[in-house]
Amino acid sequence: MSHYQYWFAGLLLLLSSNIRAQVEADQISLDQLMQFMAKHKEIHATFVENKYIKGVDVPLESSGELMFMAPSTMIRNTLLPKPEMLKLTGNTVTVERMGRKHNLQIDDYPEISLHFEGVRALLAGDVERLTHLYHVELTGTPVDWKLVLSPLRQGTALKSLNLLGSHDSVKAVEVHLEDGDYSIMQVSRKDVAE
């Protein structure tokens, strides 16, 4: 091997080491993601959700608005196909449809609780609550991350809750059930410039 070939091989080795180090540095950590999320006191977004249910030929689509107010209030205001408002504050869920209001305690509905608590813990930047409820797997970079939440509690209908995002914005929420049914919600923040 000539002097130039050694030099070139050394340069390639150095470059590949720098690229590997940069890629590892770009990996997002759970603490970093939670810091991104915790800085917002209020989030406004729109959503389009498609539910895929066995035995139904076409996905069931709904759309509307979402709001989160730290530390614990979430509102899902479905506009189409039928108006329905669901508000979670603390442990109380208020469902409003067709002019009627119903108040429920979320602890009485563990399947609903598990779904909403995961999203709420993420939006609040509450890593302790998140890891208390789920096995957490985070991959990607700050610009393009995926958070897979698998319930720690056995025997739930929820298989996994997958959240995809960029920096402090959730772009999509996928809910996968043990029976194979699933939903995909696309989310667009209204309070940030795209």
Q: Are 157 and 114 in contact (CB under 8 A)?
A: no
Q: Please check the confidence at residue 47 and state whether its pLDDT lies above 80.
A: yes
Q: What is the tens place of the pLDDT at every residue in 68-118?
A: 998 889 999 999 999 999 999 988 999 999 889 999 998 888 777 888 888
Q: Please check the confidence at residue 17 and state whether its pLDDT lies above 90.
A: no
Average pLDDT over all residues of the chain: 86
Domains of the chain: 3-189 (2.50.20.10)
Q: What is the tens place of the pLDDT at every residue in 24-46?
A: 458 999 999 999 999 888 999 99
Greater model confidence, 2 or 68: 68
Beta bridge partners of 176: 160, 182
Which pLDDT score, from 0 to 100, does residue 11 have?
Answer: 46
CA dist., res. 120 & res. 93, Å (int): 13
Greater model confidence, 91 or 173: 173
Order across the sheet with 144-151: list the strands: 100-105, 92-97, 84-89, 73-80, 60-69, 42-52, 182-189, 169-177, 158-166, 144-151, 134-141
